[in-house]
Amino acid sequence: MSTGRILVVDDEPQIRRVLRTTLSAQGYEVFDVKTGEDALLAIRDQRFDLVLLDVNMPGMGGLAACREIRAGSDAAIIMLTVRNSEQDKVTALDAGADDYITKPFGMPELSARIRAALRRLPAPQGSFDEQIRLDGVEIDLQMRRVRKAGKESRLTPKEFDLLHYLIANPHVAIPHTKLLQAVWGPDYGDQVEYLRVFVNQLRKKIEPDPSRPRYLLTEPWVGYRFDPPAS
């Protein structure tokens, strides 16, 4: 049985009912609301491990709600939408989502996406227990915290897992597929746009000049590489 607290945000009562019933049967503790505004109120009052968030809702739309949730919560977020273009995916990920699934979807697929969103890389061992310093940035891999210029920089769980994996493999050009499967899971591998968005977000949070990265480097046609400063 799975565990975790899930908030379903969708204006369609039938979808909320099906998701609540099915996910509860899998062992999750499930709550549901019908608007983005209600989701923000629920998240202020309770802790959730994951939010299933519909993009198209009356009032505050899903993208706006995602940005507001991400500003104050590290819950995993999966966007639900009927649109499936690459730009739609990039927009959702750029708003702070961890994943994206297109309606209509099967419950086995959604369950796999939920497991992928909730999976976390284990804490690093050995020499990676110490803090890493990068030109005004402190990264604590054990505590999963990043501070830039003395202020805490909020990373989403997937952003931190991606950063952790790159740091644990310094000076190595890691292929897109390997990164996706290490961080999201074995069912991933072709979603290169995920990495593009997440690496861009990470650069904003740890690079002195995100437009000219020094640490998170692109390996053209291959993947990404973490290049730490010389000790």
- Residue spans per domain, the chain: 5-118, 126-226
| pLDDT greater than 80 at residue 130 | no
Place of tokens 């597929």: 177
Contact 55, 12 (CB under 8 A): no
Q: Name the burial class of residue 57, with classes exposed (0-12), middle (13-18) and buried (19+) by CB atoms within 10 angstroms of its CB.
A: buried
Nearest to 77 by CA among 105, 55, 96: 96
What's the pLDDT tens digit per position in 80-106? Answer: 988 878 888 889 999 999 999 998 899
**Which pLDDT band holds residue 136 (cuts at 50, 70, 90)?**
confident
Transcribe 170-225 into DSSP letters. Answer: TT--EEHHHHHHHHT-TT-SS-HHHHHHHHHHHHHHH-SSTTS-SSEEEETTTEEE
Please tell me the CATH superfamily of domain 5-118, with its number.
Answer: Response regulator (3.40.50.2300)
Contacts of 99 (CB under 8 A, 6+ apart): 76, 77, 78, 79, 113, 116, 117, 184, 194
- What does residue 57 show for φ and ψ, rounded to 5 degrees? -135, 150
To the nearest whole number, what is the mean pLDDT of the chain?
90
Q: How far are the Cα atoms of 26, 55, 79 from residue 84, in angstroms, in the given order? A: 27, 12, 11
CA 94 to chain centre: 10
Pairing of strands 76-81, 132-134: unpaired
Q: Residue 124: which pLDDT band, with cuts at 50, 70 and 90?
A: low
- Condensed to tens digits (0 to 9), the pLDDT of residues 49-67 reads 999 999 999 899 999 999 9
Edge-to-edge strands of the sheet including 174-175? 174-175, 223-226, 216-219
pTM above 0.85, yes or no: yes
Look at the block and give the residue holding tokens 């730490």.
Answer: 228
| Average pLDDT value for residue range 5-29 | 96
Its sign, for the CA torsion 178, 180, 186, 190, is negative
Q: Which CATH number fits domain 126-226: 3.40.640.10, 3.90.1300.10, 1.20.930.40, 1.10.10.10?
A: 1.10.10.10
